[in-house]
Amino acid sequence: MSDFLLELSKNPNARNVIKSLGLPIPMPQALARARGPWEERPLANQKVVVGVSSGAQLAGVIAETLAKAGADPLLAGPGHDEALWQAPGEAYGRPATTLPDPAPERLIAHGVVMDATGLSTPSDLGALHDLFHPLVGRISRSGRAIVLARPHLASGDPARAATQRALEGFVRALAKEIGRRGATAHVIYVDEGAEARLPALLRYLLSNRSAFLSGQPWHLTASAAKGGGTDVEVPITRPLEKKVALVTGAARGIGAATARLLAAEGAHVVCLDRPEDDGPVSQVARELGGSVLLQDVSAPDAGAKIAAALREAHGGVDVVVHNAGVTRDRTLAKMKRDKWDMTLDINLGAVLAIDEALLADGALRDGGRIICLSSVAGIAGNMGQTNYAASKAGIIGYVEALAPTVAARGITVNAIAPGFIETRLTDAIPAVIREVGRRLSNLGQGGLPRDIGDLVTFLASPGAQGLTGRTLRACGGAFIGA
């Protein structure tokens, strides 16, 4: 399971030798990942450069978010409204300073954030070049580039639509350019009225809990009602306090990592796996102080049994993570019907059945979360995975359709599409193919199970209320996929 090149790249001498010899070996940058539970100030003492387009609308939100997260803001380029930066700077002791032009030679910034909401015509896009061109080399290892935008169709103006949509292409390409040093890029499309939901996502993407996500558009909406109907402030630390979370397939791999991370943020985690996996799943549950539910998710009465068990023990559930899944790979020509059925039953059919049961009797509480595991295979298809790809693409359609039906209750429904993640599943891939799979992403390496767990945890948190009906890739910007 160990990635030889990644281990080698951690040795500075080896790095230098390979670099100076000019060997054609890709040297992935080890990603900075967070330790311990969510911090109050994930960006403590990090420099973040901020640029704004004229007519930009989100600079105030950026100012507030950066100051609270502990970042030192540097204002680049024209058009800044200094008044917006005054109060947060004073309250948190993070005064914004103006970045000299040209930038000081030794400047290395953790992040560059651009509020591009004001860009309306293709010629305005020059502002992207103005801001990023001089700074692209100054983004640190495991740094971040983030562009804020408005949904391109919102205004009905074709020129503005073209301009705002252009940002996605820019970010995807930028992600490939800066990925070699472990840095990532994102664009966040913020609906009118969803501005209050931006800080949590911005904080998350700038933090090193989003290490393996890159080159992706995020769409924030106000469609899901406020969680639980209450107007409470979104908690910054221990966001899952008093929440009950169900994780299927929690015995190992992504499920176990996710269960640990959810528990670390205060959730009581019900670890579900097959009765045969009693040993490992019990061990996980014991370790994190959760409970065990032994159930085959594809059994006909699984949904009813799970709903009843959650109701009885906890009065309901707040977060449901459909992680249990199988692969039964064969080319379609050679695939037996039972392999097809098993894959679709567990990966897709069971998810629908369990959710139906949880929603029907109200076991899933208001403000709840449904988080499904899709796959980049479901987006792009994989040789020998017709069954698997069908099941995982089905998940994408499912979350899109389910989300609006539960939005009024404040429940969000999303899917995560992992790329190459170092697990038992990917360990079984033949060595050469595995090596290619690892390298074929912007970051040049596979992700860890916790990278998926980190995204699950964010989606489970109250701050993620603005994301629903989406499939989010966690693939390091895989070469394949959308």
Partner 1 sequence: MGNRRAVVVSGARTPFVRAFGKLLKVDTIGLGVSAVGNLLAKTELDRTELDGIVWGGVILPGLAPNVGREIALDLKLPYSVEAYTVTRACASGLQAITNAVAAIERGDADVLIAGGSDSTSNAEIKLPQKVVHAMAPLAFGKATPGDVLGVMSQLVPISEILPKRPRIAERTTGQVMGEAAEEMARRNEISREAQDELAVRSHHRAAAAVRSGRFDDEVFAVELPNGDRVHTDDLIRADTSVEKLERLRPVFSKQGTLTAGNSSPLTDGAAAVLLMSEEKAKALGYTPLAAFRSWSYVGVDPGDQLLMGPALAMPFALERAGMKLGDIGFVDMHEAFAAQVLAVIKMIGSKAFAKERLGRDEAVGDVDMEQLNLHGGSVAIGHPFGATGARMVTTVANELARGDKETALLGICAAGGLGAGAVMERVS
- List, by residue number, the catalytic residues: 388
Tell me if 276 contacts partner 1 by CB under 8 A. no
Tell me if 82 contacts partner 1 by CB under 8 A. no
**How many CA atoms within 13 Å lie on the side-chain side of 301?**
3
Tell me if 70 contacts partner 1 by CB under 8 A. yes
Tell me if 479 contacts partner 1 by CB under 8 A. no
Q: Which is nearer to partner 1, 28 or 88 (CB)?
A: 88
User: How would you label 183-215 residue by residue, b for 16+ Cβ within 10 Å and e otherwise?
Assistant: bbbbbbbbbeebbebbbbbbbbbbbbbbbbbbb
Number of residues forming the site for partner 1 (CB under 8 A): 14
Residue of 453, 479, 91 whose CA lies nearest to 261: 453
Structure tokens at 270: 């019900």
Residue of 165, 148, 166, 164 whose CA lies nearest to 111: 148
Tell the smallest beta-carbon distance from residue 52 to partner 1 (Å).
20
Tell me if 419 contacts partner 1 by CB under 8 A. no
Q: How far apart (Å, rounded) are the C-alpha atoms in residues 116 and 103?
A: 21
Tell the smallest beta-carbon distance from residue 205 to partner 1 (Å).
22
Distance of alpha carbon 236 from the chain centroid: 17
Q: How far apart (Å, rounded) are the C-alpha atoms in residues 443 and 427?
A: 19
Only segment of 7-15, 84-92, 257-265, 421-429 that touches partner 1 (CB under 8 A) = 84-92
In degrees rounded to 5, what are phi and psi of residue 82? -55, -30
Q: Which is nearer to partner 1, 90 or 287 (CB)?
A: 90
Tell the smallest beta-carbon distance from residue 457 to partner 1 (Å).
22
Tell me if 60 contacts partner 1 by CB under 8 A. no
Only segment of 85-93, 107-115, 252-260, 460-468 that touches partner 1 (CB under 8 A) = 85-93
Strands of 244-248's sheet, edge to edge?
291-294, 268-273, 244-248, 317-322, 364-373, 412-418, 471-474
Q: Which is nearer to partner 1, 40 or 241 (CB)?
A: 40
Tell the smallest beta-carbon distance from residue 92 to partner 1 (Å).
7
Q: How far apart (Å, rounded) are the C-alpha atoms in residues 248 and 368?
A: 16
Tell me if 280 contacts partner 1 by CB under 8 A. no
87 to 116: interface string for partner 1, x by CB under 8 A? xxxxxxxxx---------------------
Residue type, 207: S
Q: How far apart (Å, rounded) are the C-alpha atoms in residues 159 and 125?
A: 11
**Which of 10, 23, 26, 40 forms a contact with partner 1 (CB under 8 A)?**
40
Tell me if 123 contacts partner 1 by CB under 8 A. no
Burial class (CB in 10 A: 0-12, 13-18, 19+), 467: buried
337-342 contacts: CB < 8 A, separation 24 or more? 339/387, 340/386, 340/387, 342/298
3-6 contacts: CB < 8 A, separation 24 or more? 3/28, 3/422, 3/438, 3/445, 3/446, 5/445, 6/30, 6/445
Tell me if 433 contacts partner 1 by CB under 8 A. no
Q: How far apart (Å, rounded) are the C-alpha atoms in residues 31 and 408?
A: 38
Q: Which is nearer to partner 1, 88 or 449 (CB)?
A: 88
Q: Which is nearer to partner 1, 83 or 333 (CB)?
A: 83
Tell the smallest beta-carbon distance from residue 96 to partner 1 (Å).
11
Only segment of 81-89, 179-187, 200-208, 432-440 that touches partner 1 (CB under 8 A) = 81-89
Q: Which is nearer to partner 1, 106 or 133 (CB)?
A: 106
Q: Which is nearer to partner 1, 89 or 215 (CB)?
A: 89
Tell me if 44 contacts partner 1 by CB under 8 A. yes
- Per CB under 8 A, which of residues 134..173 are in contact with partner 1? none
DSSP 44: T
Only segment of 39-47, 290-298, 354-362, 434-442 that touches partner 1 (CB under 8 A) = 39-47
**Which of 6, 27, 31, 41 forms a contact with partner 1 (CB under 8 A)?**
41
Residues near partner 1 (CB under 8 A): 40-41, 44, 70, 86-95
